[in-house]
Copies of this chain bind each other. A is one copy, B any other.
């Protein structure tokens, strides 16, 4: 039976995870659309709404929910108001949110107060940041859980959610890395004006609870990368508090050694990772996608604390110049075997299978707290 599914996307990061699910749902004849908000709408972050618009057969509904400098709670309030009006007009059968950002939380709150079933992608993860609690709130507000690993499933269960509503599907963006990207590395380098063949990738996001030191951290990290003499593709940070301080450092990097990009299309980014020598920073791509691809990665600081276990992932604080240097010296260009702890590349298939069950659609909105005893 055809259902109307509304995917909420606020960043290029969550879009990379939601896109394979949305396409698969569309192929399964569901009526799929995107609610596009957050960073997607801002020129400073690459105006990535254009990327969402490109998904064929999937209409987009755009909502500008912020201006630069808005506090998180104001963004939350505006998104609640806008999304509430939206679901009143469009009344989807299911809203799909992802992760731990304030846009996802706002939409989950609207779903709960309007009795619209909400599916949460990648609940149950621990991140060592303040945003982690928003992720767990999303789990409590959502009716359905699509998680990336058995560890995550266990935590969602601990939160009192019913086993029957928890689906381990793996990390959806790995679906994409599992197959060919559809673009050659030469095309990627050409399109994004990347001038080196031998390059690392660096993505360094703000940590909201460390907003006052993040500029210093960024400086230390980029200094260490400078020292290495290597060429890096740097992807701009997201718009969490502290991003301006990171941009201030990025703006000073020498252009011949650091190619700074506000964002990349996902297919191009996938191909870039497959051809990179190392990955450095604090993005989830570094601890989750890099191990799947077999790319050695250095995880910086606290943002991904407790989220990585693969042997190809190393750790350092931004201030540990020596540790960073050693990683770059010893791991540059190495290849590791695929790590499948976060799924084997079939998340979309499993997602659509779950939707095809009648029981999925008849679950009551009112949940009973399940006290686990194992």
Chain A contact residues, CB within 8 Å of chain B: 41-43, 61-68, 71-74, 76-78, 80-82, 84-86, 88-89, 102, 105, 109-110, 112-115, 126, 128-130, 132-134, 136-137, 140-141, 154-155, 158-160, 209, 306, 365-369, 371-372
Please state if A80 and B88 are interface contacts (CB–CB under 8 Å).
no
Chain B residues contacting A109 (CB-CB under 8 Å) are: 73, 76, 105
> Does B369 lie within 8 Å of A155, measured CB to CB?
yes
Complex: chain B residue closest to A81, CB-CB: B77
User: By the criterion CB–CB under 8 Å, are A133 and B367 in contact?
Assistant: yes
Q: State whether B71 touches A76 (Cβ < 8 A).
A: no
Q: Contacting A140 at CB < 8 Å: which of B126, B133, B209?
A: B133
Q: Which chain B residues border A140 with CB–CB below 8 Å?
A: 133, 136-137, 140
Alpha-carbon separation in the docked complex, A134 to B367 (Å) = 12
Shortest distance from the beta carbon of A76 to any chain B beta carbon, whole Å: 6
Q: Quick check: A64 and B85 within 8 Å, CB to CB? A: yes
How far does the Cβ of A214 sit from chain B's closest Cβ, in whole Å?
Answer: 14
When C-beta atoms are compared, the residue in chain B nearest to A41 turns out to be: B89
Interface of A is mostly: helix
Let me know if A80 and B80 touch, CB within 8 A: yes
Contact in complex: B159, A160 (CB < 8 Å): yes
Closest chain B CB from A129 CB (angstroms):
7
| Contact, CB under 8 Å: B365 / A130 | yes
Q: Are A129 and B366 CB-contacts (below 8 A) given A80-B80, A155-B160?
A: yes
B88 touching A68 by the CB < 8 A rule?
Answer: yes
Quote the shortest CB–CB distance from A340 to chain B (angstroms): 23
Instruction: Write out the residue numbers on chain B whose beta carbons fall within 8 Å of the beta carbon of A105.
Output: 109
Whole-angstrom distance between the Cβ of A362 and the nearest chain B Cβ: 15
* Chain B residues within 8 Å of A76, by CB: 77, 80, 109, 113
A-B contact pairs, 6 of them (CB 8 A): A43-B89, A63-B63, A73-B81, A73-B113, A132-B369, A137-B141
> Which residues of the other chain, B, contact A64 by a CB distance below 8 angstroms?
61, 63, 82, 85-86, 89
- CA of A109 to CA of B106, assembled, Å: 10
**What residues on B are CB-neighbors of A126 within 8 Å?**
368-369
CA distance A369 to B157 in the complex (A): 13
Q: Quick one: which of B42, B73, B77, B141 contacts A133, CB cutoff 8 A?
A: B141
A62 / chain B contacts, CB cutoff of 8 Å: 61-62
| Chain B residues, Cβ within 8 Å of A78 | 77, 81, 85
Complex Cα distance, B134 from A112, in Å, reads 9
How distant is the Cα of A209 from the Cα of B367 in the complex, in angstroms? 11
B366–A130 contact, CB under 8 A?
Answer: yes
Beta-carbon contact of A158 and B80 below 8 Å: no
Distance from A147 Cβ to chain B, minimum over Cβ atoms (Å): 14
Which of B81, B134, B154, B366 is close to A74, meaning CB atoms less than 8 Å apart?
A: B81
Q: Which residues of B contact A306 (CB under 8 A)?
A: 368
CB < 8 Å neighbour of A209 from B61, B66, B366? B366
A23→B62 CA distance, assembly (Å) = 24
Name the CB-closest residue of B to A159: B159
Q: How far is the CA of A109 from the CA of B43 in the complex (A)?
A: 24
Contact assessment for A84 and B71 in the assembled complex, using a CB-CB cutoff below 8 Å: yes
Closest to A364 in B: B209
Q: Which residues of B contact A66 (CB under 8 A)?
A: 85
A195 to B: closest C-beta gap in Å: 32
* Chain B residues near A80 (CB-CB < 8 A): 73-74, 76-77, 80
- Report the Cα distance A231→B170, complex, angstroms: 61
Instruction: Compute how far the CA of A368 lies from the CA of B130 in the bound complex, rounded to whole angstroms.
Output: 9
Determine whether the beta carbon of A136 is less than 8 Å from that of B158: no
Report yes or no: B159 in contact with A130, Cβ–Cβ below 8 A. Answer: no
